Structure 1
C-alpha cells in the first residue's frame, strides 16, 4: 500500500508541472480576414509563432489578436473593425470579443474561437 501511494505521489509530481501550462493564440489579418490559431502549447511564444505562421500562409499583415492560458480566446469582426479577448470558457471568450469589437464597429460576429486547457 505504501509503495502504491509513493508511486502515485511521484507520478503526480511528474505530471503536475505540465498541468496548467496550456497556451493558445489566435492571429488575425485585418487586411484579408485570414486567421491562424494554436492551442495546447507549453509556452506563449510557441503558441504565438504557430498562430502567426498559420495566418501568414494567407496574408502578410497578420498580428497576434489574443493569447490565452488555460482558457479560451475569440476574435469578432464587424462592418468596420474587429476585436478580440479571452475568457474562462468559449461563451465568455466570445462575449468578451464581441464587446471589444463593438468599441470599434457594429454588426460584430465571432469569426474564430479556440480553447486551450
Structure 2
C-alpha cells in the first residue's frame, strides 16, 4: 500500500509541475507587412509579420535591392498587392484584409489591361 501512496504523491507533484510550467495563452498581436517598388526597374521588395509598420517598411525597401525603391503600400493584419499596366506603363497598389480584395484595389486603380505583379499577406490576415 505504501508504494501506491508514493506513486500518487509523485503523480500529483508531476501534475503540479506541468501546470506551473505550461505556457500562457498567446495574446493576439498585430502583424505588419509592406511592399516597396522601384518604378524604374520594376523590382519589388516585401515584408510580412513584423511587429510595427516602420520595421515592415524598412525591410521591404532593403529587400528590393535598388536605390530608388520606396514603400508604396503597408498593411496591418492584411494583404497588399501591386499591379502594372504594360499599355500605359503605370503602377498601382492596394491593401485590404484579404488577398483578393487587395488585388482588386490594385487593379481598380489602374487601366483595364493591368495585371497583378506581386501580392503578400501577414500570417494573421482576414
TM-score, normalisation: structure 1: 0.80
Matches within 5 A, 1:77-88: 77-79=84-86, 80-88=89-97
Matches within 5 A, 1:1-117: 11-12=24-25, 15-16=26-27, 19-55=28-64, 57=65, 59-79=66-86, 80-102=89-111, 106-116=112-122, 117=124
| 1:107, distance to aligned residue in structure 2 (A) | 1.5
| 1:51, distance to aligned residue in structure 2 (A) | 0.3
Per-residue Cα deviation, 1:31-63 (whole angstroms, up to 9, x for no partner)? 0000000000000000000000011x2x22111
SS at match of 2:48: strand
- Residue 10 of structure 2 is matched in structure 1 by none
Q: Is the 8 A contact 1:20 1:70 kept in 2?
A: no
RMSD: 1.8
Partners of 2:68 and 2:92 in 1: CA distance: 16
Q: Bigger radius of gyration, 1 or 2?
A: 2
- Number of residue-to-residue matches in the alignment: 102
Consecutive unaligned residues of structure 1, counting only runs of 5 or more, are: none
Change (3 A) 1:108 1:44: same
Partners of 1:47 and 1:101 in 2: CA distance: 25
Partners of 2:69 and 2:103 in 1: CA distance: 20
